[in-house]
Amino acid sequence: MTFRPLHDRVLVRRVEAEEKTAGGIIIPDTAKEKPQEGEVISVGSGSKAEDGTVTPLDVKAGDRILFGKWSGTEVRLNGEDLLIMKESDILGIVG
């Protein structure tokens, strides 16, 4: 199954969080927070203005991004947990 988000929405795969702290302490699964970093899988065509012009998104598939803790809607596609969020929920691109 293929999936393409509509308008200004973006499909994101979370990047797994570190298993250890900088000091070497292993973090158990129950204490881990969900990562706020991800990889863009696909993007919509862009936001549409009232006059019908479409503004393309600043992110593209393959970009590594940071997003807010409560951003997006979790979905399961092809057995994989992904997020769908608006471009405005993205804080920035990690370069």
Task: With cut-offs at 50, 70 and 90, classify the pLDDT of residue 78.
Answer: confident
pTM given for the model: 0.77
Q: What ranges do the domains of the chain cover?
A: 9-15+27-93
Going by DSSP bridges, is the β-strand pair 47-48/54-55 parallel, antiparallel, or unpaired?
antiparallel
Q: Which CATH class is domain 9-15+27-93?
A: mainly beta
Q: How confident is the model at residue 20 (pLDDT cuts 50, 70, 90)?
A: low
Query: CA–CA separation, 32 vs 41, rounded Å?
Result: 24
- In angstroms, rounded to a whole number, what is the distance separating the alpha carbons of residues 4 and 67? 20
